[in-house]
Amino acid sequence: MTTVLDQIVPARAPWSAVIRKGQTLTIEDLAGNQAVDCLIYNADDTAERYSAPDTVAAQGTIFLTTGSVLRSSEGNPLMTVIGDQVGRHDTVGGACSRESNTLRYGQHTKHQHACVENFLIEGSRWGLGKRDLVSNINWYMNVPVDPDGSLGIVDGISAPGLTVTLRAEMDVLVLVSNCPQINNPCNGFDPTPVRMLVTAP
């Protein structure tokens, strides 16, 4: 495999790149328990983008792991999880925002940076705006769902150096927010850097 891109994303920062068909993206949780919020678009037509409902319906489970196919709003495969050292990743917890922080944790959090702001900042580089944000993937985030349907964001199950690897099934634009959340355990209350490695056959 040939390295195309190898970058460290600082704590709380956004990141994006176009991953060509057949290339792989490996996300490494450098310090452990760092949530990585992610959106995926068809690089040639961003109106086609990751769809949580299509992905969940096709695979029959809300969790992502090795073998999961990330499907678009048109039902097409965008990327496939080909390696996962953690075991499961979240599709239902959503992205934190200034508004949700205020609602959940109080007015004193209103100034805090959040994933929605990261997505908007990074998406603007590609001509994307608020209407282009959809339900996202949360790599490394632990959101168990109880039999009664209730869920909560709890301590992570990742550890330093663990990775998840995705293969692009078409040319895709990947947007990432290295989650800045400090009010719940999704980042162990201490956001840390992650590594993004793109390789080609």
Tens digit of each residue's pLDDT (9 = 90 or more) over 9-52: 999 999 999 999 999 999 999 999 999 999 999 999 999 999 99
Domain of 106 in residue numbering reads as: 29-188
**Dist CA 168 CA 81 (whole Å):** 9
Q: What is the DSSP letter of 131?
A: G
* Residue 23, in any domain of the structure: no
Residue type, position 134, single letter: V
173 and 126 in contact (C-beta within 8 Å)?
A: yes
Q: What is the pLDDT of residue 172?
A: 98
pTM value is 0.93
* Residue 22, in any domain of the structure: no
pLDDT digits (tens, 9 = 90+) for 71-128: 999 999 999 999 999 999 999 988 887 777 676 767 887 776 789 999 999 999 999 9
Q: For the CA atoms of the chain, what is the radius of gyration?
A: 16
**Dist CA 69 CA 169 (whole Å):** 9
The domain tally of the chain equals 1
* Residue 119, in any domain of the structure: yes
* Residue 153, in any domain of the structure: yes
Q: Write out the two tokens for 54.
A: 């299509």
Q: What is the DSSP letter of 164?
A: E
* Residue 103, in any domain of the structure: yes
* Residue 177, in any domain of the structure: yes
**Dist CA 52 CA 181 (whole Å):** 22
* Residue 20, in any domain of the structure: no
Phi-psi region for residue 140, left (φ > 0), alpha (ψ -120 to 50) or beta? left
